[in-house]
Copies of this chain bind each other. A is one copy, B any other.
Amino acid sequence: MSQPASVDYVFDFSSPFAYIGSRRIEAVAARHGRRVHWQPILLGAVFKVTGGAPLIDTPLKGPYTKHDLMRAAREHGTPFIWPDIFPISSVAASRATIWLRDNDDDALRARTADFIHAVFAACYAENRDISSPEVLATVANALGLDADLMMAGMSDRVVKDRLRSDVAAAIEKGVFGTPTIFVDGEMFWGSDRIDQVDRWLERGGW
């Protein structure tokens, strides 16, 4: 059975804008009969290749970006507190996500979005250290997922390799920050482009 076409959501758990967008993208995709393909990447690896830097750290733009972020969070009613640990290493969370997303078990695959939302919330709404496998295990348990199975899956070579190749593929496609959204190859950067993605899907591009 063929799946519906996807909207690809490329994100780093360490990107607060990716958190904000993660709470809106599914509704937009669903409105147009699409599913979301979740693609966690590691911005640190991207920046190494592209010479980029986190917006938040840029002089002048940094403080404004933080203000802009909080304003967007308030507008969308997104709970947001600045995490004590920032930036956050998102390797473990990304591997856990890929293990779920690419799992042979349909029931596990179906929980991918739940897990992503829970990890993002743990970080940006509950100020928990999502770089820690123990925290991820707690998050998984709270969702009724088998944390031991997940921990084992995260060490799987296939999962590790897939994260690496997903990062490489994102760089190849021109990703330099997250969230980046792809609709049939068309690239949109930023959670502030989600309304435009909605209109793009509505009109079939322009």
**Using a CB–CB distance below 8 Å, which chain A residues touch chain B?**
50-52, 59-61, 63-64, 67-68, 71, 74-75, 174, 176-177, 187-189, 192-193, 195-196, 199, 206
**Residues in chain B near residue A63, CB distance under 8 A:** 174
**Residues in chain B near residue A189, CB distance under 8 A:** 64, 68
**Residues in chain B near residue A177, CB distance under 8 A:** 61
CA–CA, A187 and B75, complex, Å: 15
Given contact pairs A51-B59, A60-B174, A206-B74, A67 touches B187 in the complex (Cβ within 8 A):
yes
CA–CA, A158 and B201, complex, Å: 51
- The reply to whether A196 and B75 contact each other, CB–CB distance below 8 Å, is yes
Q: Sorted from nearest, which 10 A-B pairs have the closest CB atoms? A: A60-B176, A50-B60, A74-B206, A61-B176, A75-B206, A192-B192, A64-B189, A51-B59, A64-B174, A60-B174
- The reply to whether A176 and B206 contact each other, CB–CB distance below 8 Å, is no
